[in-house]
Structures are given as structure tokens and as C-alpha cells.
Amino acid sequence: MLVDGASSIARRLHFPETMIGFTIVAFGTSLPKLFTVLLAAYNGYSDLVIGTIIGSCIFNLIGILSITGFFRPIRSNKYTASIGLLFLIVAIALFFLVANKQLMPLDAPAPTLLITRTEAIVLLSFFVIFMLYGYFNVQRHHKIWFDEIAQTHDLTYYAWWISLLLILIGIVGLVAGGVLVVNNLIDISRKFDLSQRFLGQFVLSFGGSAVMLYWLMITQQNKSKFELSNLVGQNVLNIVGMLGVAACIQPIVYNPIFNLDIYILIAIVFIVSGLLWMGKKLTLNIWKCRLLFLLLLIYIAYLFMR
């Protein structure tokens, strides 16, 4: 409802349809996970927060890309394949340094690792820089990013008051759903002796990525080379945007056990980048996607065995 209402308002303001898909719809698919993470942070469930953020990034890259690639080639433009992925690597490195800063003096006793509000501002500042880069890059290279063919059929328009009502109902639903998800996950964690880290990295991450996968599968995003761009943007949003907002609400206690998962995430980014540049068309064909799907199965097995 929230996405439908916001998209209707954007169309009445004459936003390009591709821009609506790139911004409003893409961001809307992240909102359920965002509200859940923020509620978990507010209640002090730090492992659930970190696990969801890292797990979502991994599922986005090897889960969504591989499954979507079974149905159509995943194309990218040179800006996403180079600068976009570089931004993602820098975001991961910044996250790692902020989370592990107290461990830098190796001879010191291991302290409690915290991501404070000051560091949250650093993360959010990097997110603002990334968004500014994305905005000016799209403005400067509009023809590379967008398919200029107008899509005027089957577009939904609502009256202003209906659009605003849909947005309000959507926000209420997100908050209520987030509360139910967090409370039930904590109950499951206690009842079945499952760690918050596992629930975040598998249950919440898989669920959040499934929403984006559904959206990509029902749209013709391959015409505008948005699949990888959206996923890179979502991962940067997860790492520095979502984590930054969560740490502003409540300082996040960081468990060093997540360092291994960060190493895995960095390795996956380099693998995706290498596969993209392997060949001349910056494309992930079905064979490359099968390799990513194999990595997905290995990662899921790793989560259950760990």
C-alpha cells in the first residue's frame, strides 16, 4: 500500500516511470526489513541487527542475482560494475573498522565492541555521499541508465487523498508487522535455543531478499540494467544507512564472530565483480549465475553448521 500510494503521487508529479522504479519501489521493498532492524536495535537485540544486515547483503548478491539469472541475463553498466561496487567495498571496510576499532591495540584486553552514535553519524555521512554520487551520476548519464521508451499502459493513478491514506496505512502496517516479527523471533530464539545471529542471517535476510526478488521477477528491469544497481544500492543502504540509523537509536554491541561473515561478504563482492568483467558485455549469464547459486547453497549450509 505504501509503495502504491507513493508511486501514484510520483506519477502525478510527472516523475519518469524508471525513476519511480529505481527509487520509490526499490526503497519500499527495503522498508519492512528496515523497520524490523530499527525495532530490534531499540530493544537491544544487537546480534539480530548485525546478522540481518550482513545476511541480507550476502543473499542479495548470490541469492537474488543467481535466481534472477536463471530466467534472464543480468546486465550492468560500467558505473555500477566499477564505481558502484567500489563504494560497496569501501562501505564494508568502513563498517569493519568502526565495529572493530577497540581491537586495534592487539595487546589490550578485549573490550565490549560498540558502534556508537558518533560512529553512526560517520556511517550515515558516507551513505549521503553515496546517494549524492548516484543522483549526479544518473543526471549526467541519463541515457545510459534509463530506457527512454515510455511506459504509459497499465499505470495506476489514485486520488491524492487515497494515495496519502495508502501511505498512512502502509506505515502503520510496517510498524505493527515489525513488532510482531521481532517479538516472535525472540520467542523462537528462546524456545528452540537458536541464536539471534542465525535468525537474522537466515530468516530475516532470506525474507527481506525474497521481497526484492519478487519485485525484480515481475518487472522488466533488464531493459534498464537496474538489477545489479538496485542490489548494490540496497547493500550500501543496509551497511551504512540502516546500521547508521539503528546505532543512532541505540549503540549496537558488535560480536567479533561476525568478522568471518564480513570476510565472506567481501569475497563475494570480489567474485561478482570478477564475473561481471569476465567477458565484454558486463553480463552475468546462466553459467555465472549457476556458480553464484552454488555459493548460495554453500553459504546456507555454512549457516546451519556454524
Q: In terms of pLDDT, which residue wins out, 176 or 229? A: 229
Per-residue pLDDT at 85 exceeds 80:
yes
The architecture that CATH gives domain 2-305 is: Up-down Bundle (1.20)
Q: What is the residue-averaged pLDDT of the chain?
A: 78
Which whole number is the average pLDDT over 156-165? 66
Model pTM score: 0.82
Which whole number is the average pLDDT over 252-265? 93
- Report the pLDDT value the prediction gives residue 125, as an integer from 0 to 100: 94
In tens, the pLDDT along 196-255 reads 888 888 888 887 788 778 777 766 544 545 678 778 888 888 899 889 999 998 899 999
- Report the pLDDT value the prediction gives residue 227, as an integer from 0 to 100: 72
Q: Of 13-22, 40-49, 58-67, which range is least confident?
A: 13-22
> What whole-number distance in Å separates Cα of residue 143 and Cα of residue 225?
11
Q: In terms of pLDDT, which residue wins out, 215 or 269? A: 269
